[in-house]
Chains A and B, each alone.
Chain A
C-alpha cells in the first residue's frame, strides 16, 4: 500500500520543542542522513541561553532548522515548508515563519490547559481555527511513543524522552530518508545502555511506521541528491572549522598550537574541540579570565608557538589592551571573535555582526590589527588558516571574525588535500651578527621573531614605545611618529596578499551588493534570483575587512549604487564611505537572526526602482 511520492527541489524543515526535548539531536541526525544521501544542506540551530528553562515555557523553546536541497544552496532556508512543534510554546515561537499551506505537525498530547497557559495562549490553537491556513496534522506523539515502548517496562520519564526519535521517524518517512544512518547513530550514542538503544530504535521505527499506516499523510516527498563537485565530504560546523583550521595551520607551520580561552557562548566549542587533540601537540589553556587567555597566547607566541585565543564580543572587549600590546611588540597572535548579539551580555545564543568596528578600531591609540571574516560554516577553516598565515608572515595579531550563525551552523565540506594548503613558512632569528629586534623585512615590514632560548639574541621588548631597529625604549617625538606610521604601513602591506576581487555578475552596472561575513548565503541567493530576472545587480563578498583589497575602490566605482547589508547598524558602510567617499547605502538588521534573502531582494528591488 505504497503512497505517492512527490519530488521537491528543496525543503526546509524546523523541529521545535523544549530545550530538554532533544530537538538539536534529531535535527542534526536528519542533517547527517541527508548529507550522506547526497543532498546539499544548511542548518541553523536556534537555542536559548538557558540550559533548561522551565518546561513548556516560551524561553525554553529550542529549534533546529534544516534546509535539504537537490542543488547548491547557501542558507539554512528562511520560511519553512514543515514545522514539527512538540508543545504549544514551540508552536507559538516558530509559527511566524511557516509558509502558508505549510505542513504543521503538532504533538497533540502537549496541548493541554497548563501548557497553553505557559505559552500564553488564550484559546487552544488546535481548536480555534487559527491554524486553518496550514496543513495541520495532529499526532499524539507522546501517547504513540509510550505505546510503542510499553513492553520495555521503563520509567515514564525515560519513555517520554524518546519521543524526539518518534518525531524523527515521522520526518524520515515523510521525506523518504533511509533510517540506516540513524540506527547506527542510536547504537553508537546509547551503546552502553542496551535498553536505551532499544527504546530509541523502537520510537524511531514506530514514527516511521505510523506515517506509512495512517491516513493523515497521503503523500511523501523526495529531495534528490545535489550535484556537488566530486570528492570526499563531511559535515562541518563553523566552530569545528576553526578548530581544524588552527590545527592545520599548526601542522603546516610546524609550530605547536597554544589556545588560551575562557568559556563564552558561542565560542566555547572551539575550546572543547581543540582540547581533544592533545596528540597533535595542542595545548589548550582554560584561563582564569579573558585577559589571561589572550596574555597567555601572547606569551606562547613570544616563546615561539602558534599563540591563539578565542572569545565572543564581551571577551574581545576585555582582551583589547593586551591586543594593543601584541600590536606594539609585534608578535603573531590569532584572536577568534565569534560574535553574538549585544551590547553587554545581550543575547548570547543569537547572531550579530556588530563587532566589526570593535575589531578594527577598538583599542587605545593607533593600534592597527588585520581583520578577516569567514562567510559560511565551512569557510571558517580556510579563513582561520589564512589568519594564522598572515599573523606569522607579518608578525602581527590578527582578529578572525565569525558569529553564532556560522559557529553553530553546518554544511557539507569537501575535505581538502592537506598538500594543497598554502605553506606557512616560519623563520626564527638565529644570527646574533645581523640581529636587531625591530629591524624590518623590506617586503613585509615584519620584525624578526627571536625566541627565548636562542643564544646571543637576548633582548627586551615591551609596551613602551621603541626606537626603530634597536627596540630600545624611546620618547623621541619623531621616532614615535615613525613607529606609528610603520605599524600602520605594515598592516596595509598585507593587501599585497589579497587576491583580486571576484565579482558575481557584470563588472559594471546599476547596483553592487557588498557583503562581509556570514551574510554571504542570504545575499548570494537574493542576487542570483534578481540576476535571473534580468536585473542589473552584481555582488562581491569581502573576506579581508582590514586592510581592504586594493582593487575595491575601482570595483565600487563601476556601479551607480552600492548596497551593504549587515547585521549591525551600518559598520562596514561607514568604513567604505570614509575610505572611498562612495555614497554606499547601508541595510541593517539587528534581531539576533540572520538575513532572509527575501529581505535583501526587497531592498534590491527598492533601490533599482528609484
Chain B
C-alpha cells in the first residue's frame, strides 16, 4: 500500500519525461542545475509511475525546483514544505513525496518542521541544497554560514554559530542521512537512488555552489586538486580511506577520529574505522558528522546512516485498520445517535 514501486518491468521513462516546459531560471553556473539534472536522470530508473511523484518546496532559489520537474509539484511558502508533504503522505502513502529545500528554508524559518518530519519518520525524501548563503534575497548569511562570515547583512562578520545539517538530521532521529556534492554527478545519482529506495524519511545534504553570492564555498571538497585529501567517501562495510594516493585512513582514538597513514608501516587497513551505516545506535554517525568541524579531518560524503523503523504513515494506517476491526463498519447515523439519547414524542 505504501510502496509506489512497480515490481516488474520498466516503465520506459526517460530523463525527458521529467523535464517540464518551463524555462529554468537559475543563474548560469549555479549548482542547482546539476541537482535538477541528476534527479531527472535518476527518477526514470526507479520504476515509479511519473504521476506518483510529488515535489514540494518552500521558498528560495532551490525551491523553484518543482516548476522544472514534469511531475506533480507544489511551490509553497517559506519553510513549510515538510509540513505540507506530511499532509500529502498521510492521506496518500502511495505517492513518492519529495521535499526540496535550502539551508535557509529548511534550517532557519522551517527548522521546526524539518526536525519533526525527520523524527516522525514519514516516508518523505528531503533534499537540502546547502550553499551557506541566502541567494534569492541577494546575499545575506544563512544558518550554515561559517562564523565570522562577511555578507551583506554582516559587514563586520557574523557572530552566529552555524548549524551542521547532518548533525541536526541525526539528532532528530532521521533513519536515512546522506551527503553528496553538486560536482559529483554519479555519486549524486546514486545517493538520490538510495534515498528513494529507503523506506522512511531520507535526508540528503547537497554541497551546492552559489556562484554569485558565495562562490567556491565548497571548492575544497569538490575540485579535483583539493578534493582527494579533503573528502572521504563512505562505503558500507569498507574502511575509511582517502587521499590522492589512497594512503590515508581514519582511525578511532577513543571517541575521536584521527587521520593516519597506511603507507608508512605503522598502521594497516585493519586499524581503520569500517563504515557501518546500519547501526541503530547513532553514536558512530554522530562521530562522522563532527568531522567537518575539524579542519584536520576530511569531510565524509555518502550515506551516514540507513536504518529501518516504522514509518509514521504505516503506523497511522495500521492503527486505522485495527480500530476498524475493533468497531466494525462505520455507521454515521449510529455515531450521531451515540451517547445519552432520549425520545420526545
Q: Which residues does A use to contact B, with CB under 8 Å?
A: 32, 35-36, 38, 181, 228-235, 244, 247-248, 251-252, 256, 258, 260, 277-281, 283, 285, 287-289, 291-293, 295-305, 307, 321-322, 324-325, 329, 414-418, 451-464, 472-473
Contact across chains for A460 and B73 when beta carbons are under 8 A apart:
yes
A279 CB contact (under 8 Å) in B20, B71, B87, B326: B326
CB contacts under 8 Å to A, within B23-82, are 49-54, 56, 66-67, 69-77, 80
Q: Among B248-256, B295-303, B334-342, which stretch is in contact with chain A?
A: B334-342
B residues near A285, Cβ cutoff 8 Å: 86-87, 90
A residues near B336, Cβ cutoff 8 Å: 234, 244, 248, 415-416, 418
Q: Which of A233, A288, A291, A463 has the most CB of B within 10 A?
A: A288
15 pairs from A and B in contact (CB 8 Å cutoff): A234-B341, A248-B332, A279-B323, A292-B86, A295-B86, A296-B83, A296-B86, A299-B74, A300-B87, A303-B54, A303-B92, A321-B77, A415-B341, A453-B94, A461-B75
Contact across chains for B72 and A287 when beta carbons are under 8 A apart:
no
Question: Per-residue 0/1 for B304-345: is the Cβ within 8 Å of any A Cβ (1 yes, 0 no)?
Answer: 000000000000100110011011101011011111111111
A303 CB contact (under 8 Å) in B20, B22, B87, B327: B87
Give A193 Cβ to nearest chain B Cβ, in Å: 22
Q: For residue B56, which residue of chain A has the nearest CB?
A: A299
Cα distance A454–B92 in the bound complex, in angstroms: 12
A residues near B338, Cβ cutoff 8 Å: 234
Tell yes or no: B112 within 8 A of A by CB: yes
Give A40 Cβ to nearest chain B Cβ, in Å: 10
Cα distance A418–B336 in the bound complex, in angstroms: 9
Contact across chains for B335 and A232 when beta carbons are under 8 A apart:
no
Tell yes or no: B91 within 8 A of A by CB: yes
Q: For residue B87, which residue of chain A has the nearest CB?
A: A299
Give A148 Cβ to nearest chain B Cβ, in Å: 27
Cα distance A287–B94 in the bound complex, in angstroms: 22
Cα distance A605–B344 in the bound complex, in angstroms: 37
B76 CB contact (under 8 Å) in A36, A325, A452: A325
Contact across chains for A283 and B92 when beta carbons are under 8 A apart:
no
Tell yes or no: B113 within 8 A of A by CB: yes
B residues near A233, Cβ cutoff 8 Å: 341-344
Given contacts A229-B344, A452-B92, A460-B74, 13 further A-B contacts (CB under 8 A): A233-B344, A234-B337, A288-B112, A295-B87, A295-B113, A299-B74, A415-B336, A415-B337, A453-B94, A454-B51, A457-B51, A458-B50, A463-B75
A455 CB contact (under 8 Å) in B49, B54, B113, B328: B49
Q: For residue B55, which residue of chain A has the nearest CB?
A: A460
Tell yes or no: B88 within 8 A of A by CB: yes
Tell yes or no: B194 within 8 A of A by CB: no
Contact across chains for A277 and B343 when beta carbons are under 8 A apart:
no
A299 CB contact (under 8 Å) in B85, B335, B339: B85
Contact across chains for A32 and B340 when beta carbons are under 8 A apart:
yes
B residues near A458, Cβ cutoff 8 Å: 50-51, 70-73
Tell yes or no: B282 within 8 A of A by CB: no
B residues near A289, Cβ cutoff 8 Å: 112
A residues near B333, Cβ cutoff 8 Å: 417-418
Cα distance A29–B80 in the bound complex, in angstroms: 45
Q: Which of B50, B66, B319, B332 has the most CB of A within 10 A?
A: B332
A residues near B91, Cβ cutoff 8 Å: 256, 258, 283, 299-300, 303-305
Tell yes or no: B178 within 8 A of A by CB: no
Q: Which of A229, A453, A455, A472 has the most CB of B within 10 A?
A: A453
Give B334 Cβ to nearest chain A Cβ, in Å: 10
A278 CB contact (under 8 Å) in B87, B323, B343: B323
Q: A285-B87, A454-B51 are in contact. Are A303 and B95 (CB under 8 A)?
A: yes
B88 CB contact (under 8 Å) in A299, A322, A457: A299
- Total interface residues in chain B, CB < 8 Å: 58
Tell yes or no: B116 within 8 A of A by CB: yes
Cα distance A416–B20 in the bound complex, in angstroms: 50
Q: For residue A234, which residue of chain B has the nearest CB?
A: B341
B residues near A415, Cβ cutoff 8 Å: 336-337, 341
Contact across chains for A292 and B323 when beta carbons are under 8 A apart:
no
B residues near A292, Cβ cutoff 8 Å: 80, 83, 86, 112-113, 116
Cα distance A248–B95 in the bound complex, in angstroms: 27
Give A410 Cβ to nearest chain B Cβ, in Å: 11
Contact across chains for A463 and B342 when beta carbons are under 8 A apart:
no
A453 CB contact (under 8 Å) in B52, B70, B116, B326: B52
Cα distance A287–B337 in the bound complex, in angstroms: 30
Tell yes or no: B260 within 8 A of A by CB: no
Q: For residue A252, which residue of chain B has the nearest CB?
A: B332
Q: A35-B340, A288-B113, A415-B341 are in contact. Are A278 and B320 (CB under 8 A)?
A: yes
Tell yes or no: B84 within 8 A of A by CB: yes
CB contacts under 8 Å to A, within B141-186, are none
Q: A232-B341, A415-B336 are in contact. Are A291 and B83 (CB under 8 A)?
A: yes
Cα distance A291–B338 in the bound complex, in angstroms: 33
Q: For residue A331, which residue of chain B has the nearest CB?
A: B74
Cα distance A231–B330 in the bound complex, in angstroms: 23
A residues near B22, Cβ cutoff 8 Å: 460, 472-473
Cα distance A280–B343 in the bound complex, in angstroms: 26
Give A480 Cβ to nearest chain B Cβ, in Å: 17
Q: Which of A234, A458, A459 has the most CB of B within 10 A?
A: A458
Contact across chains for B341 and A247 when beta carbons are under 8 A apart:
no
Q: Which of B50, B52, B341 has the most CB of A within 10 A?
A: B341
A247 CB contact (under 8 Å) in B89, B113, B332, B342: B332
A residues near B344, Cβ cutoff 8 Å: 38, 228-231, 233, 414
B residues near A296, Cβ cutoff 8 Å: 83-84, 86-87, 90
Contact across chains for B330 and A299 when beta carbons are under 8 A apart:
no
Contact across chains for B339 and A235 when beta carbons are under 8 A apart:
yes
Q: Which of B84, B335, B339 has the most CB of A within 10 A?
A: B84
Contact across chains for A232 and B343 when beta carbons are under 8 A apart:
yes
Contact across chains for A462 and B339 when beta carbons are under 8 A apart:
no
Cα distance A256–B317 in the bound complex, in angstroms: 12
B87 CB contact (under 8 Å) in A235, A291, A298: A298
Contact across chains for B51 and A283 when beta carbons are under 8 A apart:
no
Q: For residue A35, which residue of chain B has the nearest CB?
A: B342
